[in-house]
Amino acid sequence: MHEYFRVPIVVAAAATGLIGTFLPFPKTLKSHPYAAIYAGSFAGMCSSSLINSYWELSFISLIGASLYVLTMNLFAGFGGRLGSVAFASVALYMLAKGVF
């Protein structure tokens, strides 16, 4: 939304999270899909100069989803987990992009 419609980044991330709350998910998943949506919107707030294609965005999403699942029980009760997962996924992607 930011890149194509010139919506401010924070508003675009908030709109993504808001729209994501209306998606129906099974009760067995609890709030994890919604948390993953918010973590993805945090990761999407990085500079558009870092992400050049939808493939790169998909790869960052894959890293973020993996990190979220791996740390799901590790950081239970601690604040900032979603932002940390978003930061780590973008940082790991940039590290991999710089190395390869």
Residue 24's domain comprises 9-99
Residue 22 counted as domain residue: yes
Residues 70/41, Cβ–Cβ less than 8 Å: no
The count of structural domains within the chain is 1
Residue 52 inside a domain? The answer is yes
The per-residue pLDDT of the chain, averaged, comes to 87
User: pLDDT digits over 33-82, tens only?
Assistant: 988 888 888 888 887 788 888 899 889 988 998 998 898 888 777 678 88
Residue 18 has pLDDT above 90, yes or no: yes
Residue 46 lies in a domain: yes
Which pair of structure tokens corresponds to residue 95? 């590290």
pTM: 0.79
